[in-house]
Structure formats: structure tokens, C-alpha cells
Structure 1
Amino acid sequence: MSGYDRSVSAPEHDLGPETVWHLQMPQIRFGRNAVEELGFQLADLGVDAADDPHGLVVTDETLADIGHVDRVTDHLEDAGYDVTVWDGAEREPSIENVDRCIEFVRANEGEAGYDFYVGFGGGSCIDVAKATRAVIANGGQVLDYIAEPTGAGESLTESGPPLVLMPTTAGTGAEISPVAILSVEEQDIKEGISSNHIRADAAVLDPTFTTTLPPETTGKTAMDALGHAIEGYTTHPFDGLLRASDPETRPVYAGRTELTEMFSEKAIQLLSSNVRTAVHNGDDLEARAAMLKGALFGAIAGLTAGASLCHAMAYPVGNRYHTYHGETIAVLTPASTLGYNVASDPERFVRVAEMLGADTDGLGTREAADRARAEYVRLQRDLNVVPSGLNELAGVTEEDVDWLASQTVETQQRLLRCNPRPVTEADAAEIFRDALYNWE
């Protein structure tokens, strides 16, 4: 496989290195009780309550049952906004799940849809909100905007009315991501709608919504956030990828820069030093705030520089075995990011090891780099909520490895293009074998 094939994702590229990097973020509000500024945030985006706008809150039944959704809608209504709640978002949402939300919108508001949208919850709720707004704004159905051959591969051209996203987990970073990940259940694969038009206009991050997250979910979502941070720190530099012939075709995952590296480093430190407290003492708001901030920083890094091999492997696993995304990232990171990829730049992985808390004094570079994996596994075992490998996670065995490897290489080139080390199907199979058991 040539460097050109590995690096390219858009159809036409100049045969030369990228020379320009680009950063695009939603407006971000962060802090305790930031929900109280939700009305102000909408007004700042041009949604005037005096015009009697009608908005939709996309969420799930659990958040509605525990009262978090009422807290959001109360603040919106106090600010003069009329809102409807759709609480049908499912874990690891399918294309059909988004279609149901779109049908709800069109049945209630017609083809034009609502005047604004609020996505509230974990990454699943947020991805449903992003995809719904995008399809309503551009017309048609979800499959129109899924890449070929699964979908029609059409491009989004409109962003639509304002969208504000509010995460209740410190994990996926979906609140700032330019991608919505959806499962295609009949094919056992996951596909993404990837476009800057799917990105939210604003993200409001309030750590007080995360204190009700159970220890197990806290730990597993934290591993996803840590995965973003480490993948973003160790992925290709932006000028190691090929230059797009047209800025419009530049992929949203475009390689690391000095700016993304700063966010990665801070994210790794915040997450690794606070996750034990957040899991074992979930009412500690300082730790919860640090985790949410770390997840945000990790997403700024990983979702700009690019998620890579670990996430590419996670999607076939999640879709076939219906595992939670965070725990899937957790069990794959040791063998992929901190195993196979270490050979790409051992000195960089020495710094990862040290940020995770490893003592590397007196060690050679390669031995010190390998401490990153050992320290990451130690963290997982301390949390006592993460499966020991793919076998414990979902009963994956040696017999499943070849199918998972083929799916990774055949369907996830969007992510593999940024991986710092080329990956063949045989490589992927060996990494999956390694990930069956991270510890005994």
C-alpha cells in the first residue's frame, strides 16, 4: 500500500504535503450551572425569544426519568422559548433511530423543521440531534448522506437552524465533533456523516449533569476521552498528509498540529489524574469538572487531528456485538494505540507514558515507551469497571478475528489514513488477537 493511498481520503489531491491547517469549533460555554446560560446562548446565536421560535430537545428516556431534561426545559421556558422533547434516542444509534426522529420533526413542523435544536445527553443523543438537524436542513433521508456504497454519498450543503449540544458524559466529545456515527444494523457496520455542516453552533458543558453518571459508565466513557487524547497526540502530523487540491475537500480529520498537541497533553493529564476519584467518589464535583474539561480538550485534539486505529477497530466490534463505545475503546487501546503504534515514534510514546504517571527514569527509549501501555492497563484495573479484553467484553474469540480485521480495513479508511503506522488486514488481525486479553 503506497503512502499516497494511505494518506488520501478525498477524491482529488495534489501529490505534495499539506501546508495549511484549519481549526473550527462551536461556541463553548463551560462551568458549573452553565445550563442557566442556555437561553442567553440561543439568543447569541440569533434565536430571539420575541419571535416565538419553537425548538426541539433531543434526548433519551433515562435523562427524562431522572429529571435532567426538566431542568433544561425549565431554563429554556423561563427564557421565553417554546420547546418540545423527543426522548427516543437509543444507545449506539442506528440510521433507523435517526429516521424516527426526522419523521417526528416533519410530522410536527413540516419539511422546514424546528427553529432550533438542543441535543442533550451522551454521544448517542448528540449524534441523533446532529444528524436530524442536518437531514432536515438538506432534505431527503439519512442514507443520502452516508458514504457509498452504503449510502448515496451526497454532500451536506446547509447547516440548518442553530444547534446547541449539552453532554452529560465526559467521554465522546460529540458536542464539538464534525461527525455523526450511526450503525447500519443489517450490515454489522458503522458509518459516519462527516462534514463541517453537521457540527453544532454551540456546546454548553455543565459538570453538575455528570454527577448522576454511574461508576461503570463514568469509567468507560473516560477511557473513550483518554483514547481521543492519546490518539490525537500520536496521529500523523498535518504536514505528513497529502494536500487537498481544493480546501473544500480537506478532510475534517486532518492531522495533529502544535495547537492540538497542547490540548492533548492537558487532556491526558486531567483525565488520568482525576478518573479514579470520579469513578470511586462520583459526587466530587471538582473531579467531575476536571473530567468534563479533559474530555473537551481531548475531543478538540482527537477530533481535529483525527481519531485513528483504535477507533477504526472499535466500530466493527461495537456494531456486531452491540458494546458501548467507551468500553470498546478501553479494551482496544492497549493493543492498538499503545501497542502496535508505539513503533511509529517511540520518543512520543515515552511522553505519553510519563503523562500517564509512569516512572521512566533509567530506561531506554523503547522500554520507556512500552510503559505507556502498562500504565494505561494499571489505570483500567484500578477502576475495576473495564473488561480485561475483547473476550470478557463480548465473548470475542480467535475465530472472530479475521472478520473484524477485514471490516476494519475495508470500511474505516477515513480513520486509518491518519494512523501513524500503515495497517494491513494481517496487522489488524494480529492486533485484535492481542486485544482478546489485556490481563489475566
Structure 2
Amino acid sequence: MACCHHYFEPTEGGDNAFSVDASSITFGRGCLAEAGTVARALGIGRIAVMTDKALRGQPFFEKVEKALTAAGVDVAVYDEVKVEPTDESFQAATRFAAESKADGFLSLGGGSVIDTVKAASLYATYPADFLTYVNAPIGEGRAVPGPLKPHIACPTTSGTGSECTGIAVFDLLAMKAKTGIVSRALRPDRALVDPDVTASLPANVVAASGFDVLSHALESYTAQAYTKRKAPGDANLRPMSQGANPWSDLGCREALRLLGIYFARAVADADDAEAREQVMWAATLAGIAFGNAGVHAPHGMAYSVAGLVRDFQPDGYPDAEPLIPHGMSVIVNAPSVFRFTAPACPDRHLEASGWLGADLRGAGEGDAGEVLSSQIVALMRQTGMPNGLSGVGYEETDLAPLTEGAYPQRRLLDNAPREISRDRLTDLYRDALAYW
């Protein structure tokens, strides 16, 4: 089935161009050994390496540290990064960044670590009240004043794609909801994507992070077309989340195709090196895609799902405090959302279903939402994900606070192909309470 050719047709007042942005990426087994060479090429003599305590004990941390010191780079280490960072943990990392007197940064970890470095570099370079750069309407949404110090991102999970984006997401503790900072200036200068780091990941971590990849690709592919977004008065103000476009489509299609083949294998068997490498590559492709198109409702809804967590503790993650991992907080919403968005671009929903392994025989456009949501649910069950919102501890009485936490996320919700009102948002949460 070919993509609907008229999806990008010009609209009155809409944009007639799209932008392409991407980090400089090195992908391949063992490429973390190139960290020292890359740091030197970026002019870094003293580097602040940020990670968390668990990752600091892994062999790949030692590999990076040795590569840096062998290249004559002075290393300062911060291992206090918080899984699912908060405004407080961002500010703690900022203090270290300022005190380290480093020429650049290296993040070694998942999206939490990479996002922490983005924020720490920003606030250490351009000090301001914390909400200054945070997305409006929650924060001021002020533009980053200028360039940041070089940042080498080394992802250790096959999920967030944060090494490819200018987005830093965190929990704003006062609101009990996630929000973020968005700027092209936050995009890492270089990314070293080494699939070897995923060999030690527990199955549940691979599953949760893999569903983040899946939703990045699905949401970018089904986002409103860039031609439907109002044209900017100044081309420099074109947003990163510009809507689906021909460039982002390329990464989405291939990421979804790879996930359809390798995702379940990567979760089921830690020794399946091919599957884990291909899911890591899918994460990179989807990261580039959503860094240019933007995601929409499943991610916007995830912010309050993660922020309002009460006592849920997933397998494979630190059990010091309640936590709903990011990819899990996204995917519990996805089947509900894609049932709703399918009428806006049914061909895209059907195409995506096929890449993910659905049987499309006899399926028509009117079936698109159900076919895609059913395929997502099948993958959720196959990989041990919770049964919707009820599976992570929510019930009918939580619909109002979930809605209130997510409704301000207009950057995401307004990128969906159908309008999402406050009442519609509540309905989407209600439909996400349980799937089986």
C-alpha cells in the first residue's frame, strides 16, 4: 500500500518547506572506544562525564574513561544522574557542570542521562531561573541565548533517541507532571551509538525502551503534515516539531519495519545480538525522525502518567522509589490514541500496522485504527507490558488529574492529526485503562 500522495498537499497559510536537522552519528559495535578521538576533534581538553551509579560499574564506562585518558583528555565524573530526572536533579547536575570547569560533556546512559547533560550544559552556560527555558505555558519558553559546549552522547539503551534531538524531558515536582526544554542548541554535537552496551539490559528494560522507539516512529509518521502547520513569519522560528515530512517518513518506515522483525526477539533473548543491534539502529532512526517531525498524544499523555505514579515498581529498574519508565508510560496510551487518530490518515495507520507484523488481508481504511491498536496490544502482551493504565496503578478516579497534568502539553497534543480537547483527552485516558 503506497503512502497517501496528498498528505503533504499545500494548505492555505501552511508552511511550504521543512527543515532537516541531525546530529553527527557514529554507529557500530565497539565505537565507544572512539570517545577520546572525538573529544579531541571537538577541542575538549577537560570533559565532564555524566552517568549514574549503576552504569559506572559497567565495563563500557571503563572503556570510555580509558579512551578519553589515552587521548590526553582530563576527566571529571558525575554519577548522580537520576533515572527519570526531575527539576531538582537537573539543578544538582548543573552545579556540578559549573564547578567542573569542563570544556565539554559526555553523557553515558539512557535518555535520562543524555537529557540531564543537555540541561546542565544549558544552565551552567546561561544561568537563569529554572523555568526560564522550560516549555510554555508551564515555563517562559525563552530561547537559548547561544551555543553550548560540545556534547558527546553515548546511549546505553535502545530507546529514547535523545542523542539525536534537542529535547530534554524531566519531572516538574511541583506539578507532578513531565515537561521539557526544546531547542536546536541542545542537540548533541556527536553521538556514539554502540549496540554492545545493550547486551546486559534486562528484558523489561529492552521492552519499555523499545516501545518508546515504536511510538516515536508511529507518532512521527501519523503527526499532522508540516504543510498544515502555520508558516512561521521568520524561517529561523520554524519549530523542530514541524509535523510529518518526507525526511522524517524515511526513518519512521525503516524503524517500524525493523521493529516488526526484531523487537520481540530482542526482548526474549539477551544473546540475540543481531536483534538487539537492529533495535538499537531502529532507535537511532526513529530519534532522527521525531527530532524533525515531533511526536504527539501518546507522549503528551505519558507526562502525567509518569508524574503521578504512586507505588508502581517495574522489574529490571532500581527499586528505591516508585517509577513508570518512560517508554511504558507512553505505550499504555498508544492503542487508545491510534484508534482515535486513524480517521485522519488511515492509510498511514494501515501501513504502520503491516510493518509491525499485522495481517492486512481484507482490512480497509475503516479498520485502520483497530488493526493498528490490536497489533500494538499484541506486542505489549508478548513482551510483558502492563495492561494499560490500570496495569500501572490508575483507575477511573484518576482520569481528572491525568487530564490536568497532560492538557498543558500543547506542543505535543497539537501535533496530532486530529484536534484533542480537554474532554477528548479524558476519553483517551478512559479508553486506555485496560485493553485485555
Q: TM-score, normalised by structure 1?
A: 0.91
One-letter amino acid of the counterpart of residue 388, structure 1? N
Alignment deviations for residues 359-385 of structure 1 (CA, whole Å, 9 cap, x no partner): 11223321255211111111111112x
Structure 2 residue matching 1:358: 3-state secondary structure: coil
Q: Quick check: 1:17–1:240 contact (8 Å CA) kept in 2?
A: yes
Q: Quick check: 2:106–2:153 contact (8 Å CA) kept in 1?
A: yes
Aligned to 1:404: 402
Aligned to 2:330: 329
Number of matched pairs: 413
Once residues 150 and 171 of structure 2 are traced to their aligned partners in structure 1, the CA distance between those partners, rounded to angstroms, is: 25
Aligned to 2:434: 437
Q: 1:405 to 1:388 in 2, by over 3 A?
A: same
Q: Quick check: 1:347–1:369 contact (8 Å CA) kept in 2?
A: no
Matched, 1:418 2:415: yes
Q: Quick check: 2:259–2:356 contact (8 Å CA) kept in 1?
A: no
Once residues 40 and 230 of structure 2 are traced to their aligned partners in structure 1, the CA distance between those partners, rounded to angstroms, is: 40
Aligned to 2:365: 365
Match of 1:247 among 235, 245, 251: 235
Matched, 1:16 2:13: yes
The CA RMSD measured in Å over matched residues stands at 1.6
Once residues 63 and 100 of structure 1 are traced to their aligned partners in structure 2, the CA distance between those partners, rounded to angstroms, is: 19
Aligned to 2:380: 380
Aligned to 1:7: none
Matched, 1:346 2:346: yes
Aligned to 1:428: 425
Matched, 1:90 2:82: yes
One-letter amino acid of the counterpart of residue 333, structure 2? L
Once residues 184 and 334 of structure 1 are traced to their aligned partners in structure 2, the CA distance between those partners, rounded to angstroms, is: 26
Q: 1:98 to 1:366 in 2, by over 3 A?
A: same
One-letter amino acid of the counterpart of residue 387, structure 1? P
Gap regions ≥5 residues in structure 1:
1-13, 48-52
Aligned to 2:60: 68
Instruction: Quote the offset at 1:352 in angstroms.
Output: 1.2
Once residues 149 and 99 of structure 2 are traced to their aligned partners in structure 1, the CA distance between those partners, rounded to angstroms, is: 18
Percentage identity across paired residues of the two chains:
30
Once residues 224 and 135 of structure 2 are traced to their aligned partners in structure 1, the CA distance between those partners, rounded to angstroms, is: 23
Once residues 427 and 184 of structure 1 are traced to their aligned partners in structure 2, the CA distance between those partners, rounded to angstroms, is: 24
Once residues 431 and 136 of structure 2 are traced to their aligned partners in structure 1, the CA distance between those partners, rounded to angstroms, is: 31
Structure 1 residue matching 2:106: 3-state secondary structure: strand
Q: TM-score, normalised by structure 2?
A: 0.91
Instruction: Quote the offset at 1:246 in angstroms.
Output: 1.0
Instruction: Quote the offset at 1:210 in angstroms.
Output: 0.9
Which moves more between the two structures, 142-151 or 61-70? 142-151
Match of 1:236 among 221, 224, 227: 224
Aligned to 2:69: 77
One-letter amino acid of the counterpart of residue 232, structure 1? S
Q: 1:149 to 1:352 in 2, by over 3 A?
A: closer
Match of 2:178 among 176, 183, 190: 190
Q: Quick check: 1:134–1:158 contact (8 Å CA) kept in 2?
A: no
Instruction: Quote the offset at 1:40 in angstroms.
Output: 2.2
Once residues 191 and 172 of structure 1 are traced to their aligned partners in structure 2, the CA distance between those partners, rounded to angstroms, is: 15
1:15-414 equivalent positions in 2, closer than 5 A: 16-47=13-44, 53-109=45-101, 114-148=102-136, 150-321=138-309, 322-336=323-337, 338-384=338-384, 386-393=385-392, 395-409=393-407, 411-414=408-411
Q: Quick check: 1:231–1:307 contact (8 Å CA) kept in 2?
A: yes
Alignment deviations for residues 258-310 of structure 1 (CA, whole Å, 9 cap, x no partner): 12111101000112211111111112221111011001111111221110011
Once residues 284 and 220 of structure 1 are traced to their aligned partners in structure 2, the CA distance between those partners, rounded to angstroms, is: 18
Once residues 65 and 37 of structure 1 are traced to their aligned partners in structure 2, the CA distance between those partners, rounded to angstroms, is: 20
One-letter amino acid of the counterpart of residue 128, structure 1? T
Q: 1:269 to 1:136 in 2, by over 3 A?
A: same
Gap regions ≥5 residues in structure 2:
1-10, 310-322
Q: Quick check: 2:20–2:247 contact (8 Å CA) kept in 1?
A: no
Q: Quick check: 1:228–1:303 contact (8 Å CA) kept in 2?
A: no
Instruction: Quote the offset at 1:150 in angstroms.
Output: 4.1
Alignment deviations for residues 79-117 of structure 1 (CA, whole Å, 9 cap, x no partner): 2211111011101101110111111233342xxxx1010
Q: Quick check: 2:160–2:283 contact (8 Å CA) kept in 1?
A: yes
Q: Quick check: 2:40–2:71 contact (8 Å CA) kept in 1?
A: no
Once residues 33 and 316 of structure 1 are traced to their aligned partners in structure 2, the CA distance between those partners, rounded to angstroms, is: 37
Q: Quick check: 1:17–1:239 contact (8 Å CA) kept in 2?
A: yes
Aligned to 1:5: none
